Structure 1
Amino acid sequence: MNLPPSTDRDLWVSWEQYHGLIERLALQVHESGWVFDKILCLARGGVRVGDVLSRIFDVPLGILATSSYREAAGTVQGQLDIAQFITITRGTLDGRVLLLDDMVDTGLTFSRVHDHLLRQFPGVTELRTGVLWWKGHAQIQPDYYVEQLPTNPWIHQPFEDYDSLRPHQLESWIRKGLRTAHPK
């Protein structure tokens, strides 16, 4: 599928580029020499990032649901909601934790989640952050990031096609060749 050209206002990302960014983030964390005990990803944007890094580093994965982009088909940031509980594959959230998301936009989510985690999980001894994209207007800087975006473009991620797809549309979507039954 051909994507429109990226501009200062819009960054278009293919699946291949997206997976490459995740791999580059994993390499950056590895090359830093920091050893962590667990990964906590923010759902929904950080789930894929967290899953891949959890597999590469072979550490438990935790998931914390947060939501702020709900209005106007997910394009307008509203009030931040942080889930009460964390789902984690092994044990509890403690030790050295790598907090992952897809991007730091304003920085509000990372700031609030950082404070929430340190308050709710006193066993966390160190917390570092990692993202694929760090936008220029963000109020915080993540510890690890792959691309800095000084012009703050809207990032069109490859999975956003699913935001407007409904189950009854799947058959015709696949038939038209918009997706194959087994995407790469």
Structure 2
Amino acid sequence: MTSSRAMIPTSRCSASSTGRLLIRWSTISCRTRVSARRDVLGLDAGSTHRLTAEAIADTTVRLVKRRSLETAAGSNVRVAHTLWTMTASDLRHAEDHMLLLGRKTAMEKVATFLLEMDRRLAKAGMMALPMWRPDIGDYLGLTLETVSRALSQLSGQGVLVFSSARQIVLRNRQRLADMDA
């Protein structure tokens, strides 16, 4: 896939970036990012995209030619600064995610994920999880069973309440934040 375009989600949406790793003789898919409105997907430095994007909810995107972004950034300091800020934010997210995968317990990973999704996607106190539990596990480096167990424990502790399989209300954000620390 060429990198002549970037995608910018323009409506309330969720998408995830997926990379493929070749390990010995098998290919493993791994989620690298959950994106929300106004994120830029596919803005790579190379001539090809390293990742693919998959809509995990109803999504509207705007395709922007890479050359148009480069031209705008070259002639408009605000555009250049905005692109730099987005890139720096993506780098920070990648660093935070590496720390999450390598240093946190399963419960801390789930707490971090819920707080991030709450910050990015919650409306009126209710959050629709942007993916099913197996995909959350993939994103966090956990099994489906571990994600389900952690969510059940948080529910049992009164930290969250399920309205449906993917609709939750966070009742105690401070407790989640303490787990995330």
TM (norm. structure 1) is 0.28
Greater relative contact order, per chain length (Cα 8 Å cut-off, separation 6+): 1
User: Higher helix proportion, which one?
Assistant: 2
TM (norm. structure 2) is 0.28
